[in-house]
Amino acid sequence: MAAEDAVAMKNKGNEAFKAKDWPAAIDFYTKAIELNDKEASFYTNRAQANIKMEAYGYAIADATHAIELNPDFAKAYYRRAVGNTAILKHGDAIHDWKVVVRKNPADKVAKAQYDACQKMVKRDAFLKAIEISDAPSAAEGLDLENIIVEDAYDGVRLKDEITQEFVDDMISRFKNGKKLHRKYVFQIILAVKDIIYKEPTMVETHVKSGQKITVCGDTHGQYFDLLEIFRLNGFPSESQHYLFNGDFVDRGSWSTEVVLLLYAYKWLYPSSFFLNRGNHETDDMNRMYGFEGECKAKYNERVFKLFSESFSALPLATLIGDKYFVLHGGLFSDDETSLDDIRKLNRHGQRQPGQSGLMMEMLWTDPQTEPGRGPSKRGVGLQFGPDVTKRFCEKNGLEAIIRSHEVRMEGYEVEHDGKCITVFSAPKYCDSTENKGAYINIESDYKLDFHKFDAVPHPDIKPMAYANNGMMTLGFGYHSMALGVLEGRA
């Protein structure tokens, strides 16, 4: 009877998966496993739903369990390979791709992924070999004054300072599929890099009477949804402040448009438009998830290198009214970490976050429901419980932390007894998740006012259109895989 009930739960999980409700699918697959923990396909189905939720560490663990139950189950190796590829562990992934190809020699998709993974392993080794700790800036030798903007360029001209007229024209150009002149792209990046470099690692701001600050989560190259936030909530102004909490780029195929518009507003309103760094404002993620390829396709490699330098200059957190600590990922492995530690952190001495340390934790960690700390569901960083959040808030005199970094089906979620708030601003994420987007308004009374919004139509360009070899289209439902997405039988 338990076996039949388990299959029924699995079938409900498949229905939820097809409806793109990944959390519900995971819950049903978990119930199926609780009823029958010897069926490998239950684990591979849950692994696929975890991949959709970017819980790659959980997906790898599920796939490994499935392999232990059935060492001949090709789909389990496939899932584990996707999970390790997603967290850039190409050396681990390549072994599983090799197994999949051996077990399914006619699977052209798996063969292509195996070949791509081999190239990535070689590329990673090459980049490590040529890495220079004190490399010259990509701005060296860039003679902006002598870059000619041709008479045929039909946009507003940018002089020494940015104007509202120029920003309005940018918005229109991008909506119509046009690009900025590369001279203006260089100007914007360099101007903003200079502004943000001078900002502290934790920016501190207050909301005065008659003002409002809006906190937005991940936007991930979803340009038309970014414009919807501004349409609904008001465009940036002297009284309408904004904080974008990282992950401006990657996955969505208008990442250059998103980050250039955000940078333009930062230049226009340097003291009231704020940007925190996310885990996708990093080189290794940009190489995998599309931003590097998009920069090269729409502009050139130098544009990407300048963006990379500017990303490493971004602040890591913002403190709003001494009440809300806003950062992309979450809290820390050490209870002794304080706001003063963040203030003292020299982010300029470490361009990339690495695999450990304060910067990595600020960009990568996630909340969990259980007390204490646990291993990361992503396979990178860690997870922190409600007791960790409570101690941090009490120690630092905070009402709550606000973070992003994770899809929430309603666009936001209040957790940890109200002290941990997640906000995510990319609705219908990657065109494959039926989630809403959200943003949070904070006025001078410092109450949190949550707003949800739906995705808007966009031109027919798929997510990850510029990703490395199309590799990370795996597991996101952008094409049907030869091995199938879910196991319908048990």
Report phi then psi at 56, rounded to 5: -70, -30
Is 3.60.21.10 the CATH classification of the domain at 146-459? yes
Q: How far apart are the first and last CA of the chain?
A: 14
List the chain domain ranges: 2-130, 146-459
Question: What is the C-alpha separation between 387 and 402, in angstroms, rounded?
Answer: 16
Angle at 258 between CA 160 and CA 443, to 5 degrees: 90
Q: What is the pLDDT of residue 480?
A: 34
Q: What is the pLDDT of residue 365?
A: 98
Q: What is the pLDDT of residue 133?
A: 63
Question: What is the C-alpha separation between 287 and 280, in angstroms, rounded?
Answer: 10
Closest CA relative to residue 374, chosen from 360, 363, 362, 388? 388
Q: Do domains 2-130 and 146-459 have the same CATH topology?
A: no
How far from chain centre, in Å, is Cα 490? 34
Question: What is the C-alpha separation between 425 and 436, in angstroms, rounded?
Answer: 8
> What are 294-314's pLDDT values in tens digits?
999 999 999 999 999 999 999
Q: Is 280 a catalytic residue?
A: yes
Task: Please check whether residue 215 is in contact with residue 402, taking contact to mean a CB–CB distance below 8 angstroms.
Answer: yes
Q: What is the pLDDT of residue 267?
A: 98
Domain 2-130 superfamily per CATH: Tetratricopeptide repeat domain (1.25.40.10)
Closest CA relative to residue 75, chosen from 477, 486, 378, 488? 486
Question: What is the C-alpha separation between 345 and 335, in angstroms, rounded?
Answer: 16
Q: What is the pLDDT of residue 129?
A: 79
Angstrom CA distances, 399 to 320, 382, 447, stand at 11, 23, 10
> What are 220-252's pLDDT values in tens digits?
999 999 999 999 999 999 999 999 999 999 999
Closest CA relative to residue 55, chosen from 473, 364, 351, 346? 364
Q: What is the DSSP letter of 136?
A: P
Name residues of the chain where pLDDT drops below 70.
132-134, 468-485, 488-490
Give the active site residue among 90, 220, 280, 405: 280
Question: What is the C-alpha separation between 48 and 46, in angstroms, rounded?
Answer: 5
Report phi then psi at 473, rounded to 5: -70, -20
Angstrom CA distances, 147 to 25, 66, 257, stand at 54, 58, 21
Closest CA relative to residue 487, chosen from 119, 11, 4? 11
Q: How many residues appear in the chain?
A: 490
Task: Order across the sheet with 212-216: list the strands.
Answer: 273-276, 240-245, 212-216, 437-442, 448-453
Q: What is the pLDDT of residue 478?
A: 35
Residue type, 26: I
